[in-house]
Structure 1
Amino acid sequence: MRRPTAGGLFTSGLLLLTAATGAIDAVSYLALDGVFTGNMTGNVLFLAFALVGVPDMPLLNNGFALAGFALGSVLGGRIVGRGHPVGLPTRSAWLLGVGAALVFVLVGAWTAVGHLHGPAEITLTAVLAALMGAQVAAVKPVGNTDITTVVVTSTLANVTRESRVGGGRQTRTQWRDRALAVLAMGAGAAVGAAVLRAADGPAALAASGVVFVAGVAALLLGRRAAATAAP
């Protein structure tokens, strides 16, 4: 049987992390007062709506989500650093591992607290957003700009604009990665929402964590395969 290549494993890992982002966003939006923790575009719009007086817009939660994501991205960038060869640096691997563990710590805390409101809800939102921001920094050295793990708007624009119908010349690999990234985000969101409807918030976040762990595992396997293949 042919062994998976490092590139294939890296791509699979990024797609699984994209699905995990969709699942976590489903949980945060549906169970944490209508806020996204991975896709910041929606939060920017919701925050703008709230600032001009549109009712029922979660101003505080959206503000903390944006701040948490930015902080996580800054810290992740500092921890991972710059100038790495294409692949998964050791610091990225550790950062993703800590992030995976953190998801399940949050599951335990949510289960213990029960119904979230006020400071507890805002804290969980901010920590999840920071985790998503750090994740972006951690996977940056992998070098696949077609799968960002947190945003699919530009991905969808690229896969359509650069298609033959759009007059572009994207490669088969680019088309595959971009299309699968959009599907992965949607599939992850469906999983998160389905588990939330069938059970509760902690269970849905735990399911999201399982997908996140699978993504990290695939990236680690890709790292090992790349090291094995190196001369």
Structure 2
Amino acid sequence: MATSGQTWAEREYTAALLVLTAATGAVDGVSYLALDRVFTGNMTGNVLFIGFGLMGVQGIPVLNNLVALLTFLLGAALGSRLTRRGSDGAVKLPRSSMAVLLGTTIGTLALAGVWFALGRLGTTEMIVITGVLALLLGAQASAVKHVGIRDLSTVVVTMTMVNLAADSRLAGGAGTAWFRRVGAIVTMGLGALASAAVVRYLGGAYALVLAGVLMLVALGLLHRARRADHRYVEATATSAAPSAA
């Protein structure tokens, strides 16, 4: 029973993080397509864009990308600070992480509401929304680190692809965790695809609502995973109690 509970919790955690990865793809779709060519989750792209922009490449705003880079770092630091002492014993995802993720979800939906209220965004509004989105995704990435699934950071899939290739049978590996790794790549792409479609036909604010809804779904899955995790921990402690006595 304990083993099946552990397996169920791991599956729920994986499903939730895949949905969060799709949400990140959706947010990056919004920021790149509707907020002047900047990523709010994929910081590798922003570092490159800053380099291109500093060399005067047309159409790449240095300030927007620099703001996203710095606020993502700030969000990651704040998320780590808030979740550092929030461990619930042996449960992988502490309550503090759930609180941070709830905050990032509410923040994303609130930004969509502000966008609807403002209508057409000026340069200043774009930079502010970009900065807040990057801060929220930085906090999200820090909060989910407690789950301990390295291939599902929710904000980047580069190392996931490296691990997928390195552990594949083609490379002489055992081919482990391929479903999770392929899932991360596919879900981020699907999130970006859906976001691009919504931005194109409805607008950036609607695509941000889509991302917020995906985050809400992920929160529900994470809640289920934590409950399964608690049951596994309690069952393990109960079975170990007689032998300890």
Tell me whether the two structures share a fold, i.e. TM-score over 0.5.
yes
Given that 1:86 and 1:141 are in contact with CA atoms closer than 8 Å, whether structure 2 keeps it comes out as no
**Alignment-derived partner of residue 34 in structure 1:** 37
**Alignment-derived partner of residue 201 in structure 1:** 204
The count of residues paired between Structure 1 and Structure 2 equals: 228
For 1:159, give the aligned amino acid.
L
Given that 2:64 and 2:127 are in contact with CA atoms closer than 8 Å, whether structure 1 keeps it comes out as yes
Rounded to whole Å, the distance in 2 between the matches of 1:223 and 1:103 is: 23
Rounded to whole Å, the distance in 2 between the matches of 1:31 and 1:63 is: 17
Given that 2:91 and 2:233 are in contact with CA atoms closer than 8 Å, whether structure 1 keeps it comes out as no
Once the 2 structures are TM-superposed, how far is the Cα of residue 161 of structure 1 from its aligned partner?
Answer: 2.2
Once the 2 structures are TM-superposed, how far is the Cα of residue 27 of structure 1 from its aligned partner?
Answer: 0.6
Partner of residue 16 from structure 1, selected from 5, 16, 19: 19
Q: TM-score, normalised by structure 1?
A: 0.94
Once the 2 structures are TM-superposed, how far is the Cα of residue 82 of structure 1 from its aligned partner?
Answer: 5.8
**What pairs with 1:87-166 in structure 2 (closer than 5 Å)?**
87-166=92-171
Deviations 1:133-190 (A, max 9, x none): 000110011111111111111111211122011222242xx11111110011001111
Once the 2 structures are TM-superposed, how far is the Cα of residue 32 of structure 1 from its aligned partner?
Answer: 0.2
For 1:135, give the aligned amino acid.
Q
Rounded to whole Å, the distance in 2 between the matches of 1:146 and 1:83 is: 23
**Alignment-derived partner of residue 189 in structure 2:** 186
Rounded to whole Å, the distance in 2 between the matches of 1:81 and 1:33 is: 34
Determine what percentage of the aligned residue pairs are the same residue: 47
2:153 aligned counterpart, secondary structure: coil
**What pairs with 1:16-95 in structure 2 (closer than 5 Å)?**
16-81=19-84, 84=87, 85=90, 87-95=92-100
2:171 aligned counterpart, secondary structure: coil
Given that 2:30 and 2:207 are in contact with CA atoms closer than 8 Å, whether structure 1 keeps it comes out as yes
Shift in alpha-carbon separation, 1:135–1:68, aligned structure 2, 3 A: same
In structure 1, the gaps of 5 or more residues are: none
Once the 2 structures are TM-superposed, how far is the Cα of residue 129 of structure 1 from its aligned partner?
Answer: 0.3
Once the 2 structures are TM-superposed, how far is the Cα of residue 83 of structure 1 from its aligned partner?
Answer: 8.6
Deviations 1:54-108 (A, max 9, x none): 2221111000000110000000010000694451101001000111111111011
Q: Which moved more, 1:177-186 or 1:83-92?
A: 83-92
1:230 aligned counterpart, secondary structure: helix
In structure 2, the gaps of 5 or more residues are: 235-245
For 1:178, give the aligned amino acid.
R
Rounded to whole Å, the distance in 2 between the matches of 1:146 and 1:219 is: 17
Q: Alignment RMSD, CA only? A: 1.6
For 2:220, give the aligned amino acid.
A
Rounded to whole Å, the distance in 1 between the matches of 2:175 and 2:148 is: 17
Given that 1:38 and 1:132 are in contact with CA atoms closer than 8 Å, whether structure 2 keeps it comes out as yes
Larger Rg over CA atoms: 2
